[in-house]
Structure 1
Amino acid sequence: MTTDATDTAAVRSLKVPGARLHYEVRGEGPLIVLVGAPMDAAAFAPLADLLATDHTVLTTDPRGINHSTLDDPEQDSTPELRADDLFRLITHVDAGPAVLLGSSGGAVSALALAQAHPDQVSTVVAHEPPLIELLKDREQLREGTEDLVATYFAGDVTGAWRKFFAQADIAVPDPVLEQMFGGERDPRQVADERRWFAHEMRASTYWQPDLAALRTAPTRIVVGIGDDSAGQLCDRTSRALAQALGTEPTTFPGGHTGFVDTPEAFAARLRTVVGGPQRAKS
């Protein structure tokens, strides 16, 4: 075991079928798991530090991302595989059942875990899952996804991201895109990005949840939406999911990455939400 640069996290790894997972543990108390896909553990570190004052907080790099290595680098990252990884991590740290905050593709992983192992998660906060199959314009969105992936692998990285943000209904000026994705870039970031385009984006966004299983599971499902996400694609998918589950969406500070941009406000809201009443089952 080593100590992370934050001085609050124990950094460890766990061998699972087909991969070795990097994970970090902070604090003591009831277990909260914070997970993204492809976003890694480092992005959740500020939020994790805030929650670790009275919780055990588990963060991880999803398989194939950053420090989590694969036996087969060409393996696709499916929600089912990532859910199994989370199940194994929660079992390994032996502090469950857990509250799980999943954001974006991590929200898809969290929902897949609630389907497969509802006994391991007392509450899932699915923050802006990009489940385009729940939308009426899903065919158009699939075509757009295939086009932006093809653009990426044709070598036009900035162009692919321009199409991605346009489809997500997120306004990013061209100079910002060039600054973010043009010129010299960190090799690790590029490798993770390439894996996401090749092996993860489709599996996450085309995934179809078992709505009946989620409606009847003992796990409390909270669908989260950023205050600043109105009109964006993940606002639409999240509202469609909440409607399908017979719940109302819950708002969180910021936008799609509010937990990164305003971690203090996000932590306060998360504490309120996970301490709230259990959802009535029908």
Structure 2
Amino acid sequence: IELMQAVMPKTPQYAVFDSRFFTDMPEVNSIYSLPYELTEKYGLRKYGEHGISHTYISKRAATLLGKDLADLKMITLHLGSGSSVAALKDGKAYDTSMGFTPLTGLTMGTRAGDLDPALVPFLMAELNLDAKQVLELFNSKSGLLGLSGLSADMRDIDKAIAAGNKRAELALEIFINRVVKYVGSFYAELGGLDVLVFAGGIGENNRALRQKIAQKLACLGIVIDANLNQELTEGVISPADAKVTTLVVPTNEELAMVQEIKAVM
């Protein structure tokens, strides 16, 4: 920002924050069970990330369905190197998997996702690390990379599974398991579900993964049509009579940022 001000001093700048989408989540979902005074003093809450993506894919899904976003109970899945789940109710964010930082929630490429915070002092003592080094372990050496011992890239994980690598297979199972847990939890929070949306590098391109996740969620009425899942790069991939409408929507964070800026110019 300072560099641009120096080079182009008369050009206005706009900042679009990735967490803004989650700023008006209800307190029941946005704050932690800590002394309330600490929450107020230090702003301890779920800030969430991928908000720009969740904004775009939720609006785009509603447009594709020809419905008002405010009328839909929706869960959006941004699945990539970084992954998150968001629940939407009345057209706004109701809950999200990421927390005070982007570390928590789903298993990701190199991030551990949800874990017991007591692991921090334990690993500090056992590995002779400081808190910053433990957080580096959680953020950069865990997730798919740490579980498989091979790669943070789901494409590499799939190749290793085909070659019989059991740790890669476990990494995939855990990734799917965490997605299923969050969708199930948010389904209950929302009191049902109208729309499920897949997006992100993995969510948009890994058709087999979408099918596996749907199979695990079949008890909630989430079903994917195998042919539509293979053919479409955007649109509805569930049968017409499915209880929950499932879509794949390629995210477009750049366009979403332009739209946000246009709205305030």
TM-score by length of 1: 0.31
Q: Which has the larger radius of gyration?
A: 2
Select the structure that is richer in strand: 1
